[in-house]
Amino acid sequence: MIHGGAGALANVDDDKTAVRYLDSIHRILEYGREVLELGSSALQAVETCASLLEDDPIFNAGCGSVLNEFGKVEMDAAIMDGRDLAAGAVAAVESIANPIQLARFVMTESEHVMLISEGAMHFADHCGIKRTPIDYFYTPERLAQFNEARANKKIMLDHDDTQAGSEDQKYGTIGAVARDLKGNLAAATSTGGIVNKRMGRVGDSPIVGAGVYADNETCAVSATGYGEDFMRSVFAKTISDFIYMKGMDAESATQAGIEYLQRKIKGRGGAIVVDKQGRCAKGFTTKKMIHGWIEHGGKSMVGF
């Protein structure tokens, strides 16, 4: 399963834009299928799919990342292996084309779970990951979005509680969850965060248990939405706990997680989930969520 963000997504009412999103989701899903059918691990599949989503500028991650209050890109990402709960994460990184790949290096090549900002980029140099020129991240759409916000003095207003996280906002994040032929689970989440966020703000995406979680005994989860809500509700782990504690399947655990998010804090966003039996589920409190899935090797399904 993969997702490309949640929100009001008014732009997908335009057929051309909708087709552009769905084509990309479909292409990346099919790529993920091939990776898994060739016998690669769930971990490899989620890293590959997340990297492809990061490479497509229509999604808010990697090269399509939104800009912060100073017009800069600061990206967060995390990856988790359900076999042993190994995890790697990076936060507030720039000049890295695929933060999800750096997150995997943190998991495999360091003794830590999360590295941030300059330290993470120093570690990228150490791992041989090349810095990407900053121009790569400044897509015309993101610059226009930022300039419009500046012209309307929305930068400050967007930090106001009543406006931050309004339903009009697209909570862009990308994510992937997978179960491989051996029954192993993995999850990956990556994002540019929220438009006009304060410099140094870190969302849920790189936080294990909030925006990402994977445990072979339960499920793999990737969330998308207003990060602060998912951090406060420990959203991804909550869904996993419904399976671990109550023996639910992916569908009922996801709905229980969404109900908890909504009831406790009116949380905004959603998640994709695959459980240990390979059952897929999705849930969201926003109007839409861009997503797609292939269950038990069947036909690929895409939608909002």
Query: Is the CB of 226 or the CB of 248 nearer to ligand GLY?
Result: 226
> Two tokens at 261?
């998010």
Task: To the nearest 10°, report the CA torsion of 81, 230, 97, 54.
Answer: 80
3-state secondary structure of 24: helix
User: What minimum distance in Å lies between the beta carbon of 163 and ligand GLY?
Assistant: 15
Residue type, 163: Q
Cα separation, 203 vs 92, whole angstroms: 10
Which one of the listed residues 132, 162, 173, 286 is annotated catalytic? 173
User: What minimum distance in Å lies between the beta carbon of 16 and ligand GLY?
Assistant: 26
Contact footprint for ligand GLY (CB under 6 A): 171, 173, 191, 193-194, 203-205, 211, 224-227
Query: Is the CB of 7 or the CB of 180 nearer to ligand GLY?
Result: 7
Query: Is the CB of 216 or the CB of 224 nearer to ligand GLY?
Result: 224
Query: Is the CB of 194 or the CB of 273 nearer to ligand GLY?
Result: 194
Specify whether 285 is catalytic.
Answer: no
User: What minimum distance in Å lies between the beta carbon of 1 and ligand GLY?
Assistant: 17
Cα separation, 221 vs 50, whole angstroms: 13
User: What minimum distance in Å lies between the beta carbon of 254 and ligand GLY?
Assistant: 17
User: What minimum distance in Å lies between the beta carbon of 156 and ligand GLY?
Assistant: 19
Query: Is the CB of 223 or the CB of 280 nearer to ligand GLY?
Result: 223
Burial classification of residue 156, based on how many CB atoms lie within 10 Å of its CB (0-12 exposed, 13-18 middle, 19 or more buried):
exposed
Q: What number of CA atoms fall less than 13 Å from residue 14's CA on the CB side?
A: 7
Query: Is the CB of 66 or the CB of 294 nearer to ligand GLY?
Result: 66
Cα separation, 77 vs 15, whole angstroms: 30
Helix or strand run (H / E) with residue 3: strand 2-7
Cα separation, 174 vs 192, whole angstroms: 9
Q: Is 85 left (phi over 0), alpha (psi -120 to 50) or beta?
A: left
Per-position DSSP letters for 181-245, written without gaps between them? TT--EEEEEEE--STTPPTT---STTSBTTTEEE-TTSEEEEEEE-HHHHHHHTHHHHHHHHHHH
Cα separation, 12 vs 93, whole angstroms: 29
Tokens 């720039």 found at? 94
Catalytic residue annotation? 173
